[in-house]
């Protein structure tokens, strides 16, 4: 079976992610399909965070880099959304604003792993309990307020806790998928008016289909790849730049 390294798979995920971010340029049926097939993207990058935390020489620098990226993304989003509101709010009915920030989700995930890693280093039950409480609170807050956090953060934690047991990892993913389906994806389906509407709703309420990442991870060779500074910068820059460019084009020409 042919396998791929992490950089090759990252490029494929960037392609899928871009398809998901252009619904304003395609029909609703096509955008629904793009949305569905890209459910594996966020969790894949969550998986890469776990891999990064395992292989990096400095977990805290790795986590700090994600937080800095999240803050830069937030600043860029805020500036562009202000400009869009200033120049377009009075001339058009629909503004294409940017609220995405997967860097924030991944930064919270990496922080949770840093905390989880420190639990075993504590000598007292009180210290362990406080760190566990911090992990739970951060997990809850991140699940509520970060992009895709409801799926990505538990996925990251499951991946980390089961890094030495593949069977337990699969079971964890299946349980998370079922919980996600009944917690956030099932209720909207009941409001479908006809079969077409049901299919469209199923496509857009498909967070539970993060399981599509499993065949992709099966093709991942798991080997550490030497990544140049240019490659690192590309992966960090592509995410905000492509979203900002899409929103600029959409607000100017649609």
- Examine the pLDDT at 146 and tell me if it is beyond 90: yes
Please spell the DSSP secondary structure of 29-67, one letter per residue. Answer: HHHHHHHHHTTHHHHHHHHHHHHHHHH-S-HHHHHHHHH
pLDDT computed for residue 174 by the predictor? 97
> Contact, 13 vs 39, CB < 8 A?
no
In the block, tokens 């995920």 appear at: 13
Question: Exposed (0-12), middle (13-18) or buried (19+): which is 57, by Cβ within 10 Å?
Answer: exposed
| Any domain includes 127 | yes
- Examine the pLDDT at 164 and tell me if it is beyond 90: no
> Contact, 45 vs 102, CB < 8 A?
yes
Q: Across all residues in the chain, what is the average pLDDT? A: 93
Question: Exposed (0-12), middle (13-18) or buried (19+): which is 13, by Cβ within 10 Å?
Answer: buried
* Residue 100 to residue 63: CA distance in whole angstroms: 19
* Residue 254 to residue 240: CA distance in whole angstroms: 21
For 187, the 3-state DSSP assignment is helix
pLDDT digits (tens, 9 = 90+) for 17-68: 999 999 999 999 999 999 999 999 999 999 999 999 988 889 999 999 999 9
Considering 185-194, 203-212, 229-238, the range whose residues carry the highest mean pLDDT is 203-212
Domain range spanning residue 156? 6-253
Interhelix angle 125-145/102-119, nearest 10 degrees: 170
> Contact, 132 vs 119, CB < 8 A?
yes
Mean pLDDT of 135-139: 94
| Any domain includes 165 | yes
Q: How many structural domains compose the chain?
A: 1
Mean pLDDT of 79-103: 90
* Residue 202 to residue 209: CA distance in whole angstroms: 10
| Any domain includes 1 | no
Mean pLDDT of 213-234: 87
- Residues making up the chain, counted from first to last: 254
Full-model pTM: 0.94
Q: Which H helix or E strand runs over 15?
A: helix 6-20
């Amino acid at each position: 079976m042919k396998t791929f390294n992490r950089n090759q798979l990252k490029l494929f995920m960037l392609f899928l992610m871009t398809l998901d971010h252009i619904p304003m340029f395609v029909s609703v049926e096509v955008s629904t399909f793009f949305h569905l097939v890209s459910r594996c993207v966020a969790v894949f990058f969550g998986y890469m965070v776990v891999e990064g935390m395992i292989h990096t020489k400095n977990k805290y620098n790795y986590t700090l880099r994600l937080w800095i990226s999240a803050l830069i993304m937030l600043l860029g989003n805020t500036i562009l959304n202000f400009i869009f509101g200033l120049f377009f709010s009075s001339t058009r009915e629909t503004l294409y604003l940017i609220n995405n920030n997967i860097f924030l989700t991944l930064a919270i995930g990496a922080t949770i792993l840093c905390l989880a890693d420190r639990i075993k280093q504590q000598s007292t039950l009180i210290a362990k309990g406080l760190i566990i409480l911090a992990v739970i609170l951060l997990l809850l807050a991140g699940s509520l307020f970060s992009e895709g956090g409801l799926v990505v953060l538990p996925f990251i934690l499951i991946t980390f806790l089961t890094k030495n047991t593949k069977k337990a990892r699969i079971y964890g993913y299946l349980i998370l998928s079922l919980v996600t389906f009944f917690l956030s994806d099932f209720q909207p389906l009941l409001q479908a008016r006809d079969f077409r509407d049901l299919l469209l709703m199923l496509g857009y309420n498909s967070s539970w289909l993060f399981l599509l990442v499993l065949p992709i991870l099966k093709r991942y060779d798991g080997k550490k790849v030497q990544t140049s500074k240019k490659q690192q910068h590309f992966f960090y820059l592509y995410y905000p730049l492509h979203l900002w460019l899409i929103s600029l084009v959409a607000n100017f020409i649609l």
